[in-house]
Amino acid sequence: MSTNSSLPSYCPHCGASVTSTSTTCAVCGKSLLTYNQAGNQSNTYYPPLEEDIPSTPFNVLAFFIPVVGVVLYALWSGQYPRKSRAVGKWALIGFVAPLIIGLLFMVLFFMIALLSFSR
């Protein structure tokens, strides 16, 4: 029964610390075995939780330059699930926010134009 050594010491789903003998995460309840069977072999490295903390400077960078955020998301998605999800979210916000602001300005401009015509 040495197969237990292949289990990650951190839950790949929620990042909680798990014991090497448990097959399901005590925090989120998801199976740790199916994750390994899904192609992630025994040598998969799970970083300590401290290394997988979403990084604020990179989140800000992703917000202003969404392309960088997407690249970082793809780069981190394997090793740092939490960090990658955060940077991906900010890239999306950074991509959508200018569109919404632009749309608001267009509506505002349209309404001002409409008001000045109706006089």
Whether the Cβ atoms of residue 42 and residue 6 lie closer than 8 Å to each other? yes
Q: Judged by CB under 5 A, which of 6, 8, 14, 85 binds Zn ion? A: 14
Q: How is 22-83 classified by DSSP, letter by letter?
A: -SB-TTT--BSHHHHHTT--TT-----GGGGSPPHHHHHHHHH-HHHHHHHHHHHTTT-HHH
CA distance 69 to 83: 11
7 touches Zn ion by CB under 5 A: no
Q: Is 89 in the site for Zn ion (CB under 5 A)?
A: no
Window of 24-32, 40-48, 59-67, 69-77 that interacts with Zn ion by CB under 5 A: 24-32
Decide: is 28 part of the binding site for Zn ion (CB under 5 A).
yes
CB of 23 to Zn ion, least distance (A): 12
Choices 23-31, 44-52, 73-81, 96-104; region in contact with Zn ion by CB under 5 A:
23-31
Residue 27 near Zn ion by CB under 5 A: yes
- Gap between the Cα atoms of 31 and 15, Å rounded: 13
Which residues, 48 to 67, sit near Zn ion by CB under 5 A?
none
Among 4, 84, 10, smallest CA distance to 47 is for: 10
Interaction site with Zn ion (CB under 5 A): 11, 13-14, 16, 25, 27-28
